[in-house]
Structure 1
């Protein structure tokens, strides 16, 4: 007789969308059985396609927001390097470097609540030059912009907007008070209205509960988000979360697996914090994850493109633009 976990897996494979009570049940199931089922769902809906991207810290530090996890917030003493928006030449060079190594996506990420109008014009020119010079998809993470700004960015050649919700709506005020969770929802909707695809996920290990994580996943399901970054908190000295206990690889595998049940067709992306894992995410890629950020993170070292490419080949994945 099939157990409830197997029954839920088969229902998802047949198009069923699980609800919160079922997701909470899944989160308590034996890890190996849960992860095996999640990976079957991943293979059924996504095959062996793997979405790999790199990011560049296009503008660093002196951020006006008080997100408690962030080394770039002006509220905390973290000694992170600060600099204004990078010039076009440097952004193009980095895009070329990544493209030559087989990475299909390149994301420009900037600190601050949002870029101002002059910065939007500057980065649009950089994006135009990237698209002229390099065969790579451009993604952007420019904060809480209006639809008009996203339209300019799309016309310049960018395809996808990233803006993490970070956690559940209920828990978010404990993480940040200088902007709201609804501000982020509005930015994602502005990007969609401008004709861009969206990328949104969260950070695990902020002190949230499994229920908060599931609420986040259900929100992303309702929004129809297809690219879902899952970050593991790297507790940065000088931030309010510097003493937060680090999650384990088993914690991350369980989170990834539950997200896969809720978001069966999405590309679930291991992002920040992957370098803290001894196996660099290998077992998460067998537990439902099928995307990653490679190379350096914003303010911390990541995993080299070459090493990731070797690992993904060993696991049977094919890096493609999705």
Structure 2
């Protein structure tokens, strides 16, 4: 028998806020089915959890694509797949462009710059370009560098660590039970194996995914619980932005109340984790909802554009955080 809303929030207050332990999958499902009138209470609790277990600071990150489009995988949400009739076509950036993008990102106060490539995994050409890019950014910009280039071998993980990569992103994307509905050219287990290699090499693990792709609430709870098992340093939260030409092009945009419930649930699943606003927040939440999310458990944000979709101008996000009096996390080396 499900607990009344007040009971599950009381349990969460004791378990998560007081003890720092994440909710179980069954408990998260109760959070995700809270009535709309309970969402403000959920967000308030999630904010208290965030402040207690992560601190008040918000981490700012910029991302750039080293290789865009032409990917051989069939992730149904992604316009970078070379298998769909989407408008994105394969493009490479050079090192000077990456360094300039990192420099502009650092000017916003960001501590993290993520280099992404649309590939199943890096070949030798890409590995060498990544090593060169990371060295060039570190030589000219005071910022930490993260990388996201798909499935890795143990040798590739070691090379990225030696190059000075701070954090590796490889999203689980969705619940294990729902993954075959989203991707058929590789498995959830392959993604999890790369995350294990990354952790073993001493890199920070970044793994999240996309909500609103047609998964059930039970699968959304499953996804949050599975992410907690990975123990990521960071979880990027994306909300489906249906892209033309992809199999998910006709899917509806997530309702704001559902998006906020999901934010609260993920914070209660991952009390110590950096929870980052990523793609689709503008569609699902708008300006007011984004502010609610930042006061409801989120403690990081990607500024500027995403890989193939437009975000908000970074100045608008920085102004928003200034109005909300949210302190921006600084690099330890700069403090």
Range of TM-score over shorter length: over 0.9
Q: Distance in 1 between matches of 2:79 and 2:118?
A: 10
- Equivalent of residue 183 in structure 1, options 186, 190, 196: 190
Secondary structure in structure 1 of the residue aligned to 2:286? coil
Q: For 1:119 and 1:46, how far apart are their aligned partners in 2?
A: 35
Contact 1:48 1:316 in 2 (8 A): no
2:12: which partner in 1?
8
Which residue does the alignment assign to 1:295?
304
Distance in 2 separating the partners of 1:202 and 1:38 = 20
Give the TM-score taking structure 2 as reference length. Answer: 0.92
Task: Tell me, in whole angstroms, the C-alpha distance in 2 between the residues paired with 1:36 and 1:100.
Answer: 32
- 2:290 aligns with 281
* 2:26 matches 1:17: no
SS at match of 1:109: strand
Q: Over aligned residue pairs, what C-alpha RMSD do you find?
A: 1.5
Residue number in structure 1 paired with 2:82: 74
CA distance in 2, matches of 1:60, 1:45: 36
1:318 is matched with which residue? 327
| Equivalent residue for 1:151, pick from 144, 150, 158 | 158
- Distance, in Å, in 1 between the alignment partners of 2:62 and 2:315 is 12
Task: Compute the displacement of 1:67 (Å).
Answer: 0.6
Q: For residue 96 of structure 2, what is the aligned residue in structure 1? A: 89
Unaligned runs of 5+ in 1: none
- The aligned counterpart of 1:108 is 115
Q: Which runs of 5+ in 2 are unaligned?
A: none
Map 1:116-127; keep pairs closer than 5 Å. Answer: 116-127=123-134
Give the CA deviation at 1:18: 2.1
The match for 2:313 among 290, 298, 304 is: 304
SS in structure 2 at match of 1:302: coil
Count residues in correspondence. Answer: 320
| 1:124-180 deviations in Å (ceiling 9; x for gaps) | 011101101110000000100112112111211210000110101000011001010
Q: Which moved more, 1:12-21 or 1:294-303?
A: 12-21
Work out the CA distance in 1 between the residues paired with 2:282 and 2:12: 32
Runs of 4+ in 1 over 2 A off after TM superposition: none
Aligned to 1:246: 253
The equivalent position to 1:49 in structure 2, one of 38, 42, 57, is: 57
